[in-house]
Amino acid sequence: MSELLRSRVTEALDYLRLNTAKANLDYHLREAQERDLPILSVLDNLLEDELAARKERSIIVRTKLAHLPVVKTLDSFDFDALPSLDRHTINTLQTLAFIDHSETIALLGPPGVGKTHLAIGLGMRALQAGVRVYFLSAQELLDQIRAAQLDGIPGHKQRHLGNVPLLIIDELGYVEFDKAAATWMYQLLCQRYERRSTIITSNKAFAEWGAIFGDDVIAAAMLDRFVHHCHVLSLKGESYRMKSRNPGGKQVKGKSTPRVGSA
């Protein structure tokens, strides 16, 4: 490629903001010359590089907007510690078909058994597939509800939470909702019902949700919608944090007590 032609191509890539293709142009031109590759192969390689870079940047942005407390993957989950967990169900959920079908997931169990890890892992799979995700704890949700009520425009925040394709609500059961907040939560689940997917982690069985929301009628109506198309996983086992804190049945000095409420 002549210097004039190379300069024109570089300027065009720069103008089109194909920065990765511009950076890799010389490499692919040299490779094409050394391996006697057709010019179309050079173009294909440049576009492949550009698309990969843009996909990676998009995942980074979506992950930041998802408000995840930490980044965890399903690959790093210790399934051996929970032999009762149905691996087939987890593998099915990893396909993200539940999002296509606007289904819900309930991860139930005591603190420390990996509910939050699984929820985040599924959220990361969704982000990598280009799905928008938003994560918040039950306390953060309650704070948002109260702030919206004080602003007098509860519909604004409710629309945001109602429209995100995958909403993850973590640690339901550690804070109590008053009737107004419970009604707000019920309306949110109604908006998402058969339209969007929701994952909820909780240390409380469904029969105890009436105590969380302070109203058995609202809780029953909420569950009627949430459980209709729900994958329910009950996690049983010893807390990971307690095992790492007390590996041999003896207290390890210098370790702080785990925060109650972490899932």
**Cα 30 to Cα 136: distance, rounded to the nearest angstrom:** 49
Q: What is the mean pLDDT of residues 185-195?
A: 94
pTM of the predicted protein model: 0.78
DSSP string, 5-69: HHHHHHHHHHHTT-HHHHHHHHHHHHHHHHHT--HHHHHHHHHHHHHHHHHHHHHHHHHHHHT-S
Higher pLDDT pick, 252 / 196: 196
Interhelix angle 179-192/138-151, rounded to 10 degrees, is 100
For the beta carbon of residue 40, count every other beta carbon within 10 angstroms: 9
Which domains are seen in the chain, by residue range?
3-65 (no CATH), 67-245 (3.40.50.300)
DSSP 96: T
- Report the range of poorest mean pLDDT among 13-27, 31-45, 218-232, 248-262: 248-262
